[in-house]
Structure 1
Amino acid sequence: MKKFFKYATDNEIKYYTKINEGKDERIKNNNYEISEKIKYHMFVLPSLKECLENRTHAPFCTYNFNVWLKEVESMDNYLDFLLDLLSHKRLIESYKSVRSFSIENEYNSFRNNSLRNEYSNKSFNQEMYNVLNYRSQNNTFKDSERESNSFLKSNDSLEKSYIEQDISNLNIVSLEDTPSIHSSIRRNVSAKDLLYSAKQIFESYLDNKDKSKNIDVSPAIIKVLKKKIYEDKLWYYELFEDIYQQALYILNIGPYQRFLIKRIKSNVSRKHSLMRFILGLVLFFIIIGYLFILVFYKSSILIRVLFSYIPLFISLHSVSVYIDDFDFLIGFMGKSISGYFDVIDIKDEEIIKFHRWKSKKNLIMTLLLDIIISTIFVFV
């Protein structure tokens, strides 16, 4: 596979920054031009936005994310789980909003029509009771009025009746804001749909026959969830709260961040240290040429020192950055990579200590090599 390093462009920074600033609205409208996994990864990993905005610190590209999904086992499953759980949550919110809207709308409509009668000084329920009684005696719409009469004896019974009512025939209507065409999307929502959605999540990520598709969850949690979903017929979003938090931890501050550290250090330091490596080689051969000239003309020791120890140390250090230490150092002055840990919001003392040890080791080895080579030429 061809490797490439891609830094964020101005357009990418503007686009992804806009996504993060208006993510709630965009999640609701579901208007994206990027893949589902990439768009969600921008939401659960807000620290990547900081990496993206500061191009001097970290090269960001979706290539890194795709590589990680392929290299790390089961991470893809966690991300798919979060996406499906997000869809399940939206379905629940739609179900609740439609139900509450339907109850309120029908209640207000019936109430407004009732208040138009001439008995305005009496209470709403008592007035409707009298009207319906009168119609019932005259056998007009007898069956339907009796049903309405039982509905309207009290506000509590009204709300309770609507809550228990099956809303499987209710529709969600969404209109697109176009100048000439108004299209609608209609779909039925019921508690059965929500239960089916919960079962699908359970069977896809916790009890899948294909074991490679399952996420790592304790058997005790799976057993409890199975009982609640299949026996108790529960479908609410909070059923998966523990697994949701576990998935967020893994994606947000767990393995992916460590993977990103590795990619950032590798991408940045290799690209920069390669430039230093080339400059170091050029400088090295120039210095060797000067040393031969100095030896040939028998120059003073002071001039030999000035033209050997210092430049040669710089050139050797530049070369060593690429050959030995490109994952931890940038540039021949030993600029620390530790600044990148702040960008991605992670503190790993072991990595930082290891980096410091490698920096000192690299400096000492380069200094010794510089002394040995330069001494040979200076005192020839």
Structure 2
Amino acid sequence: MTKTTTATAPLLGIRALNRATLARQLLLTRSPLSAKAAVEHLVGLQAQNVKPPYHALAARLDGFMPEELSALMADRAVVRIVTLRSTIHTHTADDCLTLRPLVQPARDRELHGFRKRLTGVDLDRLAALARELVEAEPRTMAQLRAALSVEWPDADPQALSVAARCKLPLVQVTPRGLWGRSGQVALTTAEHWLGRPAGPAPTPDALVLRYLAAFGPASVKDMQTWAGLTRLRAAFERLRPRLVTFRDPAGVELFDLPDAPRPDPDTPAPPRFLPELDNLLLSHADRARVVPPEYWGRTWAVNQAYRSLLVDGFVAGVWKPENDGLVVEPFHELTRSQRDEVVAEGQRMLATLHPGASDAVRFGTVVPR
């Protein structure tokens, strides 16, 4: 598309982008979808820690109970695996077996950074040996490093385990990830855990359509940020006749599905309590549609990610659990009506995830820049 054509595309302001994205993310109104259907629609949930996927679905689904997702994990209908952006996600079994091959180029780039620490290591042999080890029984990364170091004693142990993770689709086995349970990270291959081979990777075109359904309207760069992949413009261009285009306030071209929801910018957006590293906050190159520029960086401190609070659809503070209740630390003064809505939403979340516990929602001091 020429610059002239892009300049005449309909403009979507920040609030319009916000409401459209919230609708796709099931955050504008709660969805009746099942947990499995929601995980599939959202193309996975960020899952560096155990609890965030549960908090993510509690914010999005009507009637969600944490035991539903936990049962899916116990039944191996969903799994925890490194995929998008080189981070751990909770995916359906089908997506695990197809998305992991799709993001292999990103795993190869990650592995390239360790090549100097793997001098003399036959990576194909390493992958075969690591597969044999983890399919014999699930192994922790420490156990895997120790076993591989026997074969390559002069190689860097951490690099050996990273190579195994990059070369193989390793999933975290239960009880890790189950609600109310604990367990160290132990790994086996996705094929072994799920009892079937990996499927063919989806075409980039198919993934573009799924991304737009869950995160659109979006630019090419937005999707590349979400996926951790490059060179996706060709897929957007092939799909252009099937898509509609807009421009954001900066003039960036945005693509979207013709029939996807794009609510009125004035549609009410109730408060939502999001877990740390929720995909809503990580899946666009320009996050202004969710994070006001004056609050950029406020949900992070060094390597620590905080849980985010949405008010009127935008990040407006952080929250943390405390004594079976929770504490809200807003970034600006909230109106009495907003505070009442935040309290009601916090109490609903506590009742969902911790029934019978305290429903106390306390406001901390406003956290200025």
Please classify the TM superposition score into its range, dividing by the shorter chain length.
Answer: under 0.3
Greater length-normalized contact order (CA 8 Å, ≥ 6 residues apart): 2
| Structure 1 length-normalised TM | 0.23
Identify the structure with the greater helix proportion. Answer: 1
| Structure 2 length-normalised TM | 0.23
Q: Which has the larger radius of gyration?
A: 1
